Amino acid sequence: MRVLRTLLVIAVILGGIFVAVDRVAVHVAEGEVADRLRATEGLASTPDVDITGFPFLTQVLGGSFDEVRVGISDYEAGTGEGSGTIRIADLRADLRGVEFSGDFGSAVADSATGTATLAYDELLKAAKAEPRQVAPGITAEVVALSDGGNGKIEVTLEATVFGKKLPGPVPVLSSVTVVDGNTVRVRADALPVLGGVEAAESRVRRITDFEQSIDGLPGGIRLEKVQAAADGMDVTVTGTDVRLAG
């Protein structure tokens, strides 16, 4: 009985040592992957990286991780318009089946799903934010974007009719969709009447409707779905063969 008790104590001690070593190793690996991702994507700050699963060391021996979670704050994505950029406030991705080289010089995930947050003031940059004529004597411009409820976006216009600004803003409830995996499209559900005058639809839509390209997300991740929320646009992202490094 004493021998058995001694063996159990030794097993517990060795198990504790293994767990400690395993946790230290995963922490080091997370730092290495984060540094590689920062260098590959040219990030301003080091991203959060969480390698899940236990034990970690057996995953290393197998050359792949079951799941890696990545968080990037204030990511500067491209807009497809020369050197223009648009800031993604918060990008979170859950990557599965991550194959990597021994020194983490390359890492590719079979699939990725995640979310991103796009602030309204960033999306407003894509709107026609200057006065434009929509009918003889009537001009309008987009001055704000906000949550319209039920996944819709509210586009707020200011209009001037024959030199006099309308006393209040004109809200336009709009739908927002993803086009071609890299573009956010805003389109008015119904067109407003400005100053009691119905302008030509094509002219009004030049103001109310717009698109914003979002290119160059990490590893080739693409936009899948978008909807308005209280703090900005909630974007669902997805991807296959997503490259983290190399």
pLDDT of the chain, 246 residues: tens digit per residue: 544 444 344 444 444 454 556 666 677 777 787 888 888 777 888 888 888 877 767 777 767 788 888 898 888 888 876 667 888 888 999 989 888 776 666 778 899 999 999 999 888 877 666 788 888 888 888 899 999 999 999 999 988 888 888 888 889 999 999 999 999 999 999 888 776 666 677 888 888 898 888 888 887 789 999 999 998 999 999 998 887 765
- DSSP designation for 220: G
β pairing state of 132-135 and 107-118: unpaired
∠ CA 50-98-31 to the nearest 5 degrees? Answer: 35
- Amino acid at site 161: V
Strand partners, 225: 236
pTM of the model: 0.81
